[in-house]
Structure 1
Amino acid sequence: MALNLNRAQWSLLALIPIASLFFIGGPNATVLPWLRYAWNLGHIGFFFVATSSICVALPKFSRERPWQYLAIIAVASLAIETIQLGIGRNFSLLDIARNLTGASLALALLLKTALPKPALLISLVFLLFDASKFTQVAINDWSYQHRGPLIENFETDQFMALWPKHIERSQDLVFEGSYAGLVHLKTGKFSGINISPVLRNWSGYQAVHLAIFNSQNYSRAITIRLHDVAHELSPQNYSDRFNKTFDLLPGWNSLSISLDEIKSAPKNRPMDTSKMHQIGLFYSNLESDDYLFIDDIRLEP
């Protein structure tokens, strides 16, 4: 027997499978920052459509009790974010704000004067804020991915948001220019730093260069790990990436790794140097807190 549903009810029904994306699916670990941000903006669209459908299906409730409706959205959003935290995702106050913004804009559009002006004003301000942040992320992402052959030299803080929190720009010791990256290291089996996503496309170059400062007065071994998008999405077997240990002399060390060597590192396939994902540097079995400087990470023609 066919369901006798109006357009609003069909819209709500169609949103059920989309709502499952709050808990499953979504961008994988390799997507660039602008795409991840764009995905998060989908919260606004989802709650705008859901609220629009509810306004048509339940006009009296949404018109007479807009604040109560927004309170329900806030509680539901808090529950969604709490569940996400419990299943290994992130709890995001920004996503809660996006949900309320989408709902408020729909109420304002469909109910006209029923939604108090402060709620509409707050929603519009947040929408402009979120759109401006997305634009900033997109511009930074585009700039970073188009600045090859340079990967990082720390001369500007524009891209430091891509790096982990235990690295900072420093003028204390530099290999070239005015700044280097200072990495604070804690004791442990593996002590170092990973950056991802890096400059994606390394194809067309011959080598990758980086400078590393050994803070000790004796030679020590450091491991460099490089892998592509395919490895990140795989079981990440040791034999499927580039791993090589280098002996660092005291002070600055200038290292150059052939792209041919990187391509041939995986055992059963060539590394896709047009879709690189991560650079990692680490000491093994560090017995005391330490530091290292890195600088002049670039591709060589």
Structure 2
Amino acid sequence: MQLVTTRQLLVGLLVVLVSATPLFFIGGPDGVSPPLYQALWDCGHILFFAFLGAAIHLLLSLRQSALTLPLVVGWSLAVLFAGGLIELAQGYVGRNADWQDVFNNLVGLWLGMAWIRPERVHWRWRLPVLLLMIPSLMPVVVSALVQWQQARTFPLLAGFESSLELQRINGRVEISPEHFIQGEHALKVSLGGTGYSGAHVKLFQGDWSVYAVLAMELYNPGATPLSMTLRISDRQHERGEQAYNDRFNRSLVLLPGWNRIRIPVKDIRKAPAKRQMNLGEIHRIGIFATRLPAPAVVYWDNLRLE
């Protein structure tokens, strides 16, 4: 009876593996998907190769063979090679190669081998496999915390109080206690270079349509005015050609000291030339400068809806 059950489980695992293989090349999140979705999708590598490791161990059980160290090493090398080929191939189908996925593949393989028949594997091998899952699962934990923090503080879009917020910010930035308007910190943005420089806050949640104003404070510690541009875009813009006239753009002149910026939400909605901005899917807010004659710094704080 146990033999039949093992065979049925093996067949089920093989069906799942064959069905899931195309997902390495089609479907899944893109560059503007929520980080939690991305992190959970990446954990699919662990699940897929855990099924593979479990299938290998069950097949050995049916053949009355033991799971030996040479077998584990051999299959690990095979998965390492196959995982590398998968990541390289993904670069040709519009997906980004991520070598963390190769590590996840190995962890999944070992997890399936060690835990499908735990009575046949000593605990000193099973426990390290669980510990190896920690770095693979940390992106899920961090992304969940960032998403929870956003939902908890909305309509405050970014208070720049926690290093967690840096997970959704691009640019030469740091959380700074030097100049702030609320809380105890602000975002210090370093500007400079011959091209564009600034900061972008991404991956917003919530519907802006029920609010009247997007507000923020910017502090210019310099002695002269600083010219910058504020840009806002939704997911449709980010997934398209990202044309300049398909998003909100506004020139700012930051005087020395604090500058209070208030943008009517209706102006943001009407900004794209051929459509309306989707206020339920705002993806990015950025401030940037171009061709500055010398490096500069600006402090960004209290990004919110009112």
**What is the DSSP-based 3-state SS (H/G/I as helix, E as strand, rest coil) of the residue aligned with 1:221?**
strand
Q: 1:291 aligns with which of 265, 275, 297?
A: 297
What's the TM-score once normalised by structure 2's chain length?
Answer: 0.83
- Trace 1:150-229 onto structure 2 (pairs within 5 A): 150-164=156-170, 166-229=172-235
- Alpha-carbon shift at residue 257 of structure 1 (Å): 0.2
The amino acid that maps onto 1:296 is N
CA contact (8 A) 1:85 1:91 kept: no
Where 2:67 maps in the other structure, the secondary structure is helix
Listed one character per residue, the Cα deviations across residues 78-107 of structure 1 (whole Å, up to 9, x for unaligned) are 4444555787724333x2332222222222
Conserved? CA contact 1:9–1:57, under 8 Å: no
2:279 is the counterpart of 1:273 = yes
User: Could you tell me how far 1:148 is from its partner in structure 2?
Assistant: 1.3
Contact 1:222 1:245 in 2 (8 A): yes
Residue 242 of structure 1: how far off its partner (Å): 0.4
Could you state the TM-score of these two structures normalised by the residue count of structure 1? 0.84
**Equivalent residue number for residue 67 of structure 2:** 63
1:65-80 equivalences in 2 (<5 Å): 65-80=71-86
Return the alpha-carbon distance in structure 2 between the equivalents of residues 298 and 291 of structure 1.
21
Distance 1:131 1:216 in 2: 43
- Give the partner amino acid of 1:244: R
Higher mean displacement: 97-106 or 127-136 = 127-136
Counterpart of 2:251 in structure 1 is 245
- Please give the secondary structure, in 2, of the residue aligned with 1:216: coil
Measured in 1, the distance between the counterparts of 2:110 and 2:183 equals 50
Which sits farther off after the overlay, 219-228 or 257-266?
219-228
Change (3 A) 1:92 1:165: farther
Give the gaps of 5 or more residues in structure 1.
1-5
Q: What is the CA–CA distance in structure 2 between the aligned matches of 1:136 and 1:108, rounded to whole Å?
A: 27
Aligned AA (1:19):
T
* Aligned match of 1:42: 44
Match of 1:127 among 118, 128, 133: 133
Alpha-carbon distance between aligned partners in 1 of 2:122 and 2:173, rounded to the nearest angstrom: 46
CA contact (8 A) 1:200 1:277 kept: no
Measure the CA separation in 2 of the matches of 1:191 and 1:247.
16
CA-to-aligned-CA distance 1:115-155 (integer Å, 9 cap, x gap) = 45443211122335644652443133122133112112223
Deviation, 1:165, is: 5.6
Moved more, 232-241 or 60-69: 60-69
Q: Do the aligned partners of 1:226 and 1:243 also contact (CA within 8 Å) in 2?
A: yes
Does the alignment pair 1:96 with 2:96?
A: no
The Cα of 1:74 is off from its aligned counterpart by 3.1
1: CA distance, partners of 2:16 / 2:135: 30
Aligned length: 294
d(CA) in 2 for partners of 1:182, 1:139: 22
CA contact (8 A) 2:171 2:200 kept: no
Structure 2, unmatched stretches of 5+, are 1-6
Q: Hey, what does 2:21 align to over in structure 1?
A: 19
CA RMSD, 1 decimal: 2.8
Alignment-mate amino acid for residue 91 of structure 1: D
CA contact 1:62–1:69 (8 Å) conserved in 2? no
